[in-house]
Structure 1
Amino acid sequence: MSGDPSGTPHPAPDPSPRPLDREKLFAARLHAARVRPYLATALFALHVVESWRVPTMAVDRHWRCYVSPGFVARTPVEELAGVWVHEVSHLLRDHHGRGDRVARERGLTGPGERLRMNIAADCEINDDVYGDGLARPDGAVEPATLHLPEGELMEDYLRQFRLGPRTQDFAWLDCGSGADGLEREWDLGADGAHGLSAQERDAVRFRVAQGITGRPGSASRGWQRWAEEAFHPPQPWRELLGAAVRSAAGGPGAGEDYTYGRPSRRSASVPGAVLPSLRRRPPHVCVVIDTSGSVSDAELGSALLEVAAISRAVGGRRDLVSVVPCDAAARDVHRVCRAEGILLVGGGGTDLRAGFARALRAQPRPDVVVVLTDGQTPWPSTRPPCRTVVGLFPRPRAARSWDEDDPEYVPDAPPAWARVVEIGAVGAGR
């Protein structure tokens, strides 16, 4: 919301030399986390940047929160808490990415259209964000202010109003590039300090969605709707992937080893000899993630969600799941303690044979190798000594352009010895 609580047009940024009252600002954040505990992960992921050029508070797409010292000085703690929640809501709901998409699809250009996006995004947030311990600042933009229905999305509101007499009181509104996608003069940019990577941002959203879905009834309907979409509830393709992993992990030879701790019953037939018994142990799964340039950030974020789903498929034992990022070369093996702690480095060409080789050298040796890729890779010429599941990111055939230098080139399909599931497709898999 990031505006003057009075609701009047906001003056120029406060040029006074007073320092930012961080104690007051952080007290407001703590209050926001107490009354909206499911948002705590996101609130504390924001990095504060003091700025005299920001009218009030604003965010960028890299999860920095720019704060005017003058605004903090004149705003009560209870209302600052509401601004904290409002600003982080823009980021959680990906208003900057959605604003960029809407601008491309509808040909919306210029600061006026971005202001309209900011107002529409505020309507999406503010219809149910306040109350229950969170103060509503005077002048906050709500759907009723513009005679619009509640419970709709930014894209819907954009179709229902234009800038005019009803919106003139909100000309000061500026929640930053995190609300509409248009960079501001105060933004530190992608290379600036303290920004979150795309994978870290997806991990924060995932944690918040987990908190909302784990305690049904504690969040508003708008947040519950958001969490259902962000958390990726079970879909047919995910069930197929989980079933494939469980089937591979439970197959003959997977997770089995000989032990002398419990002698074989056949020892009685061989006097003087102690034979080992075959003992079932928890299966180890190694996930090879394609991090080449042809895999999008959204797909990498989805891959991290699949890692969490795979750990559930083997009984929730994250210590049994490891991850190998790979483009043309394999990276270090990561143990899965927290999915958001896995750094997916890459961006070059693709050769997952290196990923297979690195996975098979891991200790303990995996019983199952899961590969998440778009399929633009050469495959091992021989079958690995363990079961293999391949999850393919969808590539519409009509939109494929595998190689600009050779339009006829089509990459090899996954080998017959792998169980294949197309991620995102209903009824896919072989």
Structure 2
Amino acid sequence: MPSQPRPKRVSAAHALDRTKLLAARLKAAGSQPYLASALYSLTVVPSHEVPTMGVDRHWRCYVNPAFVDATPVHELTAVWVHEVAHLLRDHHGRAMLVAPEMRYDHHRVNIAQDCEINDDISSLPSNALRPAMFGLPDGQMFEQYLPHIPPTPHHPECGSGAHGREMPWESSDAARVSAVEAAAIRRQTANEMRAHAKSRGRIPEGWRRWADDILEPTVDWRRALTGAVREAASWASAAVDYTYQRPSRRGTAVPRVVFPSLRRPMPRVAVVVDTSGSMGDGELKAVLGEVAGVLRAVGIGRNRVTVLACDADVHAVRQANTVGDVVLAGGGGTDMRVGIEQALRAQERPHIVIVLTDGYTPWPEVRPGNVRVIAGLVGDCPDAPPSWIETVPIPLDQLGTGRT
């Protein structure tokens, strides 16, 4: 939402000027016809609590009547495009993939999202948030902007349809768009953008990239890695065994006989990090930080994770409490076999070994028993690991972004 002064509180009797508001939507659909289907999928909900205009994740657009009265039609037209862009670009879904230490500040997330959107909208007010206000280039995704957004007095409030946090004024029982319907709207809009570009000329670059991603999606490596780790963790947790440390309650039915109980192990994870000369520190920190987020998302606590820094030898082994605790020592040749073997020799043998490397390494010839190995291959890997290693490509251009 563009940075607008908060309108004065008005009485509940103050009616929404629907004619003006809907005229602005009609103008938006006329100037950018490929957005028409999405714009007319929004349900208008008058609200005196929303500061200006905002959307929830169910495609309901909350509108303050005083804001409509105070805003020219051409600016309302741009605000319509701005709000529907949050939903088309699935900002609320992508916000859930942001690292928790950044996600908690929903204003900061909203600012970064506005920067992603507003560089493609020319008719917004001059005080609308744009990347240049923060010394950032146009054309990036909000996940790339987010780490560079400082504390700011601007507090845009575009609703849960943007940053994902439900707001107090989102309490309407109005019609909602389901997740399945939203996906269909996004795909239809992307098709209309592509058709418009072929028949009538160019569309804004940000929208062109978005349409290409919708119609020809790339795999988000975070989702792929999360799925692989979750599946491996489920596999490890299923390795139940009997133990006498906690006798079974069934023993109460048979005096003087002790029955064992079933033990379900909590998965332990070892992360082997390639610190050879071919891996940059910035890339390593970015990947390791996001892997830590993946493990938290799967429910593997930090006390169950060990990180090993390895090039041709293992230089540091420690329990990982935070990314900052990890010593990325090394810088020589590359042999991930050494790191994997060191991880397997631990007193508490891991159930899952995650190897983060650019792939310029030899690999073990045989699969270690009862241990799942997952390789996160950073950059352009020349050779694939053995087939028993689950591989997740990590493109360098997706580091620091949440693109799908």
Partner of 2:190: 209
Listed one character per residue, the Cα deviations across residues 374-415 of structure 1 (whole Å, up to 9, x for unaligned) are: xxxxxxxxxxxxxxxxxxxx963872567999658xxxxxxx
Q: Offset of 1:206 from its aligned partner? A: 0.4
CA gap of 1:395–1:36, structure 2 versus 1, over 3 A, is same
Give the Cα separation in 1 of the matches to 2:43 and 2:159.
14
Q: CA RMSD in A?
A: 2.9
Quote the residue 1:143 is aligned against: 131
CA distance in 1, matches of 2:75, 2:149: 28
Alpha-carbon distance change, 119 to 188 in structure 1, aligned in 2, over 3 angstroms: same
Find the aligned partners of 1:205 and 1:74 in 2 and give their Cα distance.
31
- 2:73 is matched with 77
Q: Structure 1: how far apart are the matches of 2:118 and 2:231?
A: 39
AA in 2 matched with 1:122:
D
Distance in 2 between the 1:70 and 1:11 partners? Answer: 6
1:181 equivalent to 2:176? Answer: no
* Paired position in structure 2 for 1:161: 149
Matches within 5 A, 1:308-327: none
**How far apart are residue 212 of structure 1 and its match?**
1.1
Aligned with residue 228 of structure 2, among 378, 396, 411: 396
Query: 1:16–1:70: 8 Å Cα contact kept in structure 2?
Result: no
2:115 equivalent to 1:123: yes
In the aligned structure 2, how far is the partner of 1:106 from the partner of 1:28? 37
TM-score, with length taken from structure 1: 0.50
How many residue pairs are counted as aligned between the two chains?
236
Contact persistence 2:120–2:206 (CA under 8 A) = yes
What are the Cα deviations for residues 207-264 of structure 1, in whole angstroms up to 9, with x where unaligned?
Answer: 00101122324311100000111112699xxxxxxxxxxxxxxxxxxxxxxxxxxxxx
State the distance in 2 between where 1:94 and 1:204 align. 11
TM-aligned CA distance change 1:107 to 1:82, over 3 Å? same
When residues 13 and 60 of structure 1 are mapped into structure 2, their CA distance, relative to the original with a 3 A threshold, is: farther
User: Which residue number corresponds to residue 225 of structure 1?
Assistant: 209
Cα distance 1:22–1:406, how it changes in 2: closer, same or farther (>3 A)? same
Match of 2:29 among 22, 25, 33: 33
Opposite residue 399 of structure 1, the aligned amino acid is E
Residue 179 of structure 1 deviates from its aligned partner by: 1.2
Say if 1:120 and 1:155, in contact at 8 Å, map to a contact too.
yes
Q: Distance in 1 between matches of 2:229 and 2:96?
A: 26
Separation in 1, partners of 2:30, 2:121: 14
Q: Name the CA shift for 1:118/1:233 in 2 (closer, same or farther; >3 Å).
A: closer
The CA deviation at 1:67 is: 0.4
- Could you report, residue by residue, the CA deviation over 1:129-155 in whole angstroms, capped at 9, with x for unpaired residues? 22xxxx222311111122211111101
- Unmatched tracts of structure 2, length 5 or more: 241-391, 394-404
For the residue of structure 1 that corresponds to 2:97, the secondary structure is: helix
Alignment of 1:16-415 (within 5 A): 17-102=13-98, 105-108=99-102, 110=104, 113-130=105-122, 135-163=123-151, 167-168=152-153, 170-171=154-155, 173-188=156-171, 192-216=173-197, 217-232=201-216, 396=228, 399-400=231-232
Q: Secondary structure at the match of 1:177?
A: coil
TM-score (norm 2): 0.53
User: CA 1:52 to 1:219, structure 2 compared with 1: closer, same or farther past 3 Å?
Assistant: same
Aligned equivalent of 2:310:
none
Aligned equivalents of 1:398, 1:99: Cα separation in 2: 20
Change (3 A) 1:159 1:69: same
Give the unaligned 5+ runs of structure 1: 236-297, 300-393, 409-424
CA contact (8 A) 1:12 1:55 kept: no
Shift of the 400–227 alpha-carbon distance from structure 1 to 2, 3 Å rule, reads: same
Kept after mapping to 1: 8 A contact 2:92/2:163 = yes
Structure 1 runs (4+) deviating above 3 angstroms are 11-16, 394-398, 400-408
Distance 2:50 2:165 in 1: 15
- CA distances 1:327-383 after superposition (whole Å, capped 9, x unpaired): xxxxxxxxxxxxxxxxxxxxxxxxxxxxxxxxxxxxxxxxxxxxxxxxxxxxxxxxx
Equivalent pair of 1:60/1:179 in contact (CA under 8 Å): yes
SS in 1 for 2:30: helix
- Does the 8 Å CA contact 1:51/1:69 hold for their aligned counterparts? yes
3-state SS, counterpart of residue 178 of structure 1: coil
Match of 1:322 in 2: none
Q: 1:73 deviation in Å?
A: 1.2
Partner of 1:285: none
- After superposition, the Cα gap between the structure-2 partners of 1:89 and 1:109, relative to the gap in structure 1 and judged at 3 Å, is closer
- The residue type paired with residue 50 of structure 1 is P
Distance 1:395 1:178 in 2: 25
Distance across 2 between alignment mates of 1:234 and 1:185: 36
Aligned to 1:45, what secondary structure does the other structure show? coil
Percent identical among aligned pairs is 45
> Aligned to 2:45, what secondary structure does the other structure show?
strand
Contact 1:121 1:179 in 2 (8 A): yes
